A and B are shown apart, each in its own frame.
Chain A
Amino acid sequence: MNAPLVDIRDVSHRFGQHPVLKSVSLTIETGSYTILLGPSGSGKTTLLSILGGFVNPSEGKVLIRGQDCTFVPPAKRPTTTVFQDYALFPHMSVGGNVGFGLRMQGVDGATRAAKAREALALVGLAAAFDKKPHHLSGGQRQRVALARALVIEPAVLLLDEPLGALDLKLRRQMQDELKAIQKRVGTAFIHVTHDQEEAMALADHCVVMNDGRIEDEGPPERVYARPATRFSATFMGESTILAGTVVETGDRTSTVATPVGPVLLPSALPLGSAAALAIRPEHLVLGTTSGGTKLGKADVSDVVFQGSFKRMLATSVEEPSLQFIAKLPATATVRPGDTVAISCDTDQIILLAD
């Protein structure tokens, strides 16, 4: 009864001999904003193409509204795609572009024009109806592509790096608008990006992908605060990664020996196993705090003033391959070349599944 809107089951895909998706399963809820986040080559765009019907997966199934759509062509599925290069029809007016989907459904001209105008108004381009796409700026073309895809009221809207071609300022502005439009129309959006800031700003549900697999998924707050794997800890925001071995286990605690000293964790781990720990930059503290975990001394290699904070890079004295990334208050007086003691709040240490 309560089937998810989109249900991707064990989807694998190969291009020739090269596997790009390795048994990916994912469900998308009605009205949600899902971000597929990953570096290039992680398979996120292929997954989107499979959802859109442009690529048929080698294995697995795609169900949309409970119906098997795995091999249904794009024209016949309840999805529409906003392409990275917008793919507007250059010979048609903006109104003709937006009305195209309705025209294919056999909707009469007057209704079509009215609905197209409505959709253009939704994206803030009501005045552009009679213009040609090449008279519009990049951001405006992006909106037209969005209106064109939304006007036929798809169950799922697929966006392939929609903001990738825009400059930074416009990207942040369009990002806010995308979110607002999604909330207004209530359509499920699935959005592919490699920009983690975009992911955190937009997603209700964030899916981190790497090497054809889903590394981590969940609300962006959770993925950021408690990343499941080393990859997601370094890709979604920055982290200092500590590797160590479990040397002592208690009832509900374990002690991990790391090159910079023992770390006490509030969970029981098998004795002798390897453990990877991540610490977010904002949780590293200079000096030693009572109740915190000491992480040894480090040589400061770089301090960059970022306005509201200072970003510091430092190399551990005890373990030269260990790089600390810390976010310090803007008032911090540390300079490159200083040697400082580093510690962190024990509760903020993240145990990675690896």
Chain B
Amino acid sequence: MHRIVRIASWIYALAVYGFIFLPVVVLVLFSLQSTSFPIPPFTGPSLRWYEAVLSDRRLTSALVNSLSVAVLSSATAVTLSFLSAWGFARFVLPGSGLLRGLITLPLTVSYLIIGMGLLVLFNWAGVPKSLLAAGIGHVVINLPLCFAIIYSQMGDHQINIERAARDLGAPEWKVLLLISVPVMAPAIFAGFFLSMTFSWDEFVISFLLTRFDTTLPVEIWNLLRSGLNPKTNAVGSLVFAVSIVLVVFFELTLLRRKPA
């Protein structure tokens, strides 16, 4: 009886993880295909499709675009959310709870709605479709998340540390730069990497807000319109690899605590 339960639970676990990871495994496996179709039988391994990706100008420039949008929008989101979290944590503001709720509210709104809203707004304001517009969109979706992470880590125990710095003669901007930011560094980096991850493979907003220069997910979508091909698998695997690296960084910075 005991054994049956054990075996059943193993099967269950395998099924769950298989369900989650099988698509990715198939994607990565057939990116190593040596023939022209990503369908069985597996003919690889071969790196020819990776070579093809890296020698494709459009794909490499989209990759660079995606990276710069991710880095710059995440940096902006994290800066703005740190400042607002600090303000909420350190000062008594009228309607503080309501305002905090409003900041995190976009988390519940779909990217499609945010993208359309920005499209209408930018149209009206005369901002052309561009990487900048997509970057602003990514700040909008990532700021609430960074805010939630940073605010949750901003405890009262840092108040006395900031007071001590002020007491020793530090002006307010130095308190922020030399004390609050370094003390909050784990949460700040966690917010940064998580928002990089989301920006990196975000499609809808980039699709709506960019035109000629575009990001990698939009470029992959363009590629897919001409049918399946191991090249799309290769570029997909690259996107996945970068996401993994970012998530690992996120986990390391947020979850690994230094001994107090």
Contacts and interface: CB of A to CB of B under 8 A. Distances in A.
Contacts of B169: 75-76, 101, 104-105, 152
Given A90-B183, A134-B260, A75 B171 contact: yes
B161 A75 contact: no
B113 interface: no
Interface in A77-92: 79-81, 83, 85, 87-91
A54 interface: yes
B167 A91 contact: no
Contacts of A79: 167
Contact of A91 (B182, B259, B260): B182
Nearest to B260: A134
Contacts of A90: 161, 183
A81 B163 CA distance: 9
B165 A134 contact: no
A280 interface: no
B171 A54 contact: no
B183 A89 contact: yes
A75 to B, nearest CB: 5
Contacts of B182: 89, 91
A260 to B, nearest CB: 51
B185 A91 contact: yes
A101 B179 CA distance: 13
A148 interface: yes
Contacts of A235: none
A220 interface: no
Contacts of A148: 164, 168
Contacts of A54: 163, 167
Contacts of A81: 163-164, 167
A87 B258 contact: no
Interface string B164-182: 1111111100100001001
Given A89-B179, A89-B183, A91-B183, A75 B166 contact: yes
B157 interface: yes
Nearest to B163: A54
Given A87-B160, A87-B163, A134-B258, A80 B183 contact: no
Contact of A83 (B164, B179, B185, B258): B164
Nearest to A158: B167
Given A90-B183, A134-B260, A74 B166 contact: yes
A54 B164 CA distance: 10
A52 interface: yes
A89 to B, nearest CB: 6
A73 interface: yes
Interface residues of A, number: 25
Interface in B6-20: none
B183 A74 contact: no
Interface-central residue, B166, B182, B185, by most chain A CB under 10 Å? B166
A88 B183 CA distance: 11
Nearest to B184: A91
Contacts, number: 63
Interface string B194-238: 000000000000000000000000000000000000000000000
Residue from A80, A81, A83, A87 whose CB has the most chain B CB atoms within 10 Å: A87
Contacts of B157: 85
B259 A152 contact: no
Contacts of B258: 134
A100 interface: yes
A83 B171 contact: no
Interface in A31-59: 52-54
Nearest to B161: A87
Interface centre among B163, B168, B174, by most A CB within 10 Å? B168
A90 B181 CA distance: 12
Contacts of A100: 165, 168, 170
A162 to B, nearest CB: 13
Contacts of A149: 167-168
A66 B85 CA distance: 40
B170 A75 contact: yes
A80 B260 CA distance: 25
Contacts of B171: 75, 104
Contacts of A101: 168-169
Interface string B50-88: 000000000000000000000000000000000000000
A74 B163 contact: yes
A332 to B, nearest CB: 49
Interface string B105-148: 00000000000000000000000000000000000000000000
A73 B168 contact: no
A52 B164 CA distance: 10
Contacts of A134: 258-260
A104 B179 contact: no
B160 A83 contact: yes
B168 A80 contact: yes
Given A87-B161, A104-B174, A134-B260, A74 B167 contact: yes
* Shortest 8 CB-CB contacts between residues of A and residues of B: A101-B168, A104-B169, A87-B160, A87-B164, A91-B182, A74-B167, A75-B169, A87-B161
21 contacts: A52-B167, A75-B170, A76-B169, A79-B167, A80-B167, A81-B164, A83-B160, A83-B163, A85-B160, A87-B161, A89-B164, A91-B182, A91-B183, A100-B165, A104-B169, A104-B171, A134-B260, A148-B164, A149-B168, A152-B168, A152-B169
